[in-house]
Structure 1
């Protein structure tokens, strides 16, 4: 009976953690904003225990800060953090790219993503461009990670995934950056499709690093209080 109860609490904690991560990714909680665990428990229809466990898990992931005798808060991205994240992400993705490129050249997966990307370029004012761009960005960067057949690369990438999603959301919500990113995605996919591995790798590296200053500005704007 006790084991069943523990399992249910654990399952609830996992669900609450996913809700908390989604709220952080979607910027429902502003960086530096204190979190009221009792209010979250009420809003999500759970006891305070799974909320507390979810907050601890988010803190262990580096997404929240737990302070003594104070409410936990969502950690902020500093410009230095963003540069460090980009450096680590680039190492992981380029390693995944090198490990998977032979099976990706000429593959149906690459051709399908390329066709979708080109089609997305012709989006209309009523099209859900942001969500489609987010989905494409996710599928593109997971392409070589999921194809690399190296569990340690995958684990390393997964450990950064929530941080990456925060940056994806910030970039996709800026139409100019999203359009630029789409053109960069197309160039990478075209190079892979043609078998120009050197060009594709160089374009991927540039794509990952070129977004850093833009994202720094976007995240800075998010922090500024409305006038």
Structure 2
């Protein structure tokens, strides 16, 4: 199919994918639950074709798995895979921060700090879901400000995986800890100190990985068997 019909279906599939991702993140579809194409199509008032395409997109992100004759299920993420994704995200965000800091305007700084304020308000309200969304938006904004569209695409392919895990099956969340984790990054952005931003991002991901690894005994066991060093926070 080509032309306007193909474009319309592609746009619709993207919209369905976002709706499904939102439902996965808010727990409407917990890990291992089935996503039935016909039910989603009926709920959203569309045909099955864009739903099928949306599910393939989520499969490419590692969020769902599609099995012949059994359909789609929300994927229960492998803990070691999640920690590997954080290593890659750290490297991507360090590169993004270096590129962004070289082009940052006063308005850009103000926008990033405003997101930080939104994060603090969500933490004070104890709203973990809102905090997860604002948290992601801060990281995404910094990548957007890098001006590198390829970097942004790669980042977006990894972020839903980690946010799905944290939202649904991660250890008991501490909103204040999560918000405070971003303070060094925001302080460095305010000071326009590129190296301090880089150090804050690296420390941020080290702390998150350490917290997850410490709460997931299967990760520690896998790392011991593989002879790999355990994630640790830097001082």
- 1:1-227, aligned counterparts within 5 Å? 3-104=3-104, 107-111=106-110, 113-114=112-113, 117=116, 121=120, 127=125, 129-130=127-128, 133-167=131-165, 169=167, 176=174, 178-215=175-212, 217=215
Which residue in 2 is equivalent to 1:225? none
Residues 129-178 of structure 1: per-residue CA shift (max 9 Å, x gap): 446534542342123311212232222212223224425645999552x2
More helix by share: 1
Structure 1 length as normaliser, TM-score?
A: 0.76
Helix, strand or coil for the counterpart of 2:90? Answer: helix
Does the CA contact (< 8 Å) of 2:120 and 2:179 recur in 1?
A: yes
Root-mean-square deviation over aligned CA pairs: 3.4
Does the CA contact (< 8 Å) of 1:107 and 1:193 recur in 2?
A: no
Farther-moved stretch of structure 1 (32-41 vs 159-168): 159-168
**1:115, distance to aligned residue in structure 2 (A):** 6.0
Pair 1:21–1:197, CA change in 2 (3 A): same
The separation in 2 between residues aligned to 1:54 and 1:131, in whole angstroms, is: 23
The separation in 1 between residues aligned to 2:110 and 2:169, in whole angstroms, is: 24
Pair 1:114–1:30, CA change in 2 (3 A): same
Query: Number of residues paired by the alignment?
Result: 216
**1:82, distance to aligned residue in structure 2 (A):** 0.9
Residues 172-224 of structure 1: per-residue CA shift (max 9 Å, x gap): 99552x21121121222112323443333212111122113444649x9xxxx
The separation in 2 between residues aligned to 1:181 and 1:128, in whole angstroms, is: 11
Helix, strand or coil for the counterpart of 1:72? Answer: strand
Structure 2 length as normaliser, TM-score?
A: 0.74
Does the CA contact (< 8 Å) of 1:171 and 1:215 recur in 2?
A: no
Does the CA contact (< 8 Å) of 2:32 and 2:76 recur in 1?
A: yes
Structure 2 unpaired stretches of 5+: 219-235
Structure 1 unpaired stretches of 5+: 221-227
